Amino acid sequence: MPLKLLVTVKRVEDPESKIRPTPDGSGIVTDGVSYKMNPFDEIAVEEALRLKEAHGGEVVVASIGGEKATTELRAALAMGADRGVLVRHEGALDPGIVSAILARVVAEERPDLVVMGKQAIDDDQNQTGQMLAARLAWPQATFASKKESLESDAEQRKRPGLTVAADGRRLEVVREVDGGVETLDLALPAVVTVDLRLNKPRFASLPGIMKAKKKELREIAAASLGVDLAPTVVVRRLFEPPRRQAGVRVGDVAELWSKLHAEAKVL
C-alpha cells in the first residue's frame, strides 16, 4: 500500500553558531548566525523516505516561515522528498498557532501519516505534534525510537523504525520512555514525533541537490488559511544565565559546613 507522508521542517539556528540575546532582550543577535533544518526534522524526513522506499507513495515536506525557509525545504527535497509546501508567515508563532496552521495543511494534503521532529532545537517547546494530533483527533505516538542501535546492520541497511502493517491501516511505533522503550500500535492516519535515536539521516547527494531545484514548492499565505495568527504565548525577554562563580576547594568537612552555613546560607 503506497503511503502519503507529510513531514514538517523548521528553519532553526545552527547549534554550532554562537547564540547571544540582543541587548534589549527582544530576540537574538542574528549577525553571523547560520541556519539549518531542525535536526529532529531531518530524522523525520529520513524516516519518511525509508517508509516511502519500503511501501511506495509520496513524501511532502511542509514549513512555516519567510522566504528563507525555502532553503530548508529544498534541503529536504534534496534528501529525496517529492514536493514542498511553504506556509508564508513572518514573525513569531507559538505551538498553538503552528498546530492550527498544520491542521489546515493536513486537511488539504490528507496524508496517511504526519512525521515530525519531537521538538525544534530553537525554543524546545515539544508541543506541536501533540497539539496537531489533538486538533485532528488522530492517534499520536511521540518520541519514536528504534530497538536497534544506530550502529546496527539494520540501520546500515536503512530499515525504517516505524512499521506499517501490510494493509497500510496500522502503524507500530517503538518509543522512548523513562527507563526503556515501549511499543505502540496505532490506527492510521496518525501523527508521530521522532526522537534522536530513530535513524541516521542521509546527506543529500549531489544529483539530489540538483533535482531539488526542479521539484514543486508551493507557497500558501498563512493569512489565507482562516487561522487566528495572533500569538497566545509571547516571549517577554531573552537573557543569558548569570555566569557561574568559580568553585573553591575546601580543606575538610568542618570548613565545608561553615561555608555552606555562613556564606551560602543553605544549611
List the one residue from 2, 56, 147, 203 that touches another protein (CB under 8 A). Answer: 203
Cβ-contact 194, 47 below 8 angstroms: yes
Closer residue to another protein (CB): 157 or 236 = 157
Closer residue to another protein (CB): 33 or 229 = 33
Which region, judged by CB under 8 A, interacts with another protein, from 94-102, 116-124, 210-218, 226-234? 210-218
Distances (CA, A) of 62 to 10, 145, 187, 196: 9, 22, 23, 20
Instruction: Give CA–CA dist 7/60, Å, rounded.
Output: 6
Q: Is 32 among the residues that bind another protein (CB under 8 A)? A: yes
Q: Tell me the backbone φ, ψ of residue 62, rounded to 5 degrees.
A: -130, 145
Nearest to 168 by CA among 60, 54, 81, 62: 54
Q: How many residues bind another protein, per CB under 8 A? A: 18
Angle between helices 95-109 and 128-136 (to 10 degrees): 50
Instruction: Give CA–CA dist 125/122, Å, rounded.
Output: 9
Omega of the bond prior to 95 within 30 degrees of 0, cis?
A: no
Which region, judged by CB under 8 A, interacts with another protein, from 71-79, 104-112, 142-150, 171-179? 71-79
CB of 115 to another protein, least distance (A): 21
Which region, judged by CB under 8 A, interacts with another protein, from 59-67, 137-145, 156-164, 200-208? 200-208
Which region, judged by CB under 8 A, interacts with another protein, from 67-75, 85-93, 221-229, 231-239? 67-75
Cβ-contact 113, 189 below 8 angstroms: yes
Closer residue to another protein (CB): 203 or 257 = 203
Q: Which helix (H) or strand (E) holds 48?
A: helix 39-55
Q: Is 205 among the residues that bind another protein (CB under 8 A)? A: yes
Sequence-ordered list of residues with C-beta below 8 angstroms from that of 159, at least 6 positions apart, any chain:
50, 148
Q: Is 247 among the residues that bind another protein (CB under 8 A)? A: no
Which region, judged by CB under 8 A, interacts with another protein, from 101-109, 178-186, 204-212, 254-262? 204-212
Count other C-beta atoms under 10 Å from residue 32's C-beta: 8
List the one residue from 206, 234, 248, 266 that touches another protein (CB under 8 A). Answer: 206
CB of 18 to another protein, least distance (A): 6
CB of 34 to another protein, least distance (A): 10
* C-alpha 213, offset from chain centre: 23
Q: Is 208 among the residues that bind another protein (CB under 8 A)? A: yes
Distances (CA, A) of 81 to 48, 52, 77, 194, 228: 8, 9, 4, 17, 30
List the one residue from 187, 210, 235, 267 that touches another protein (CB under 8 A). Answer: 210
**What residue ranges bind another protein (CB under 8 A)?**
18, 31-32, 71, 74-75, 78, 200, 203-210, 212-213
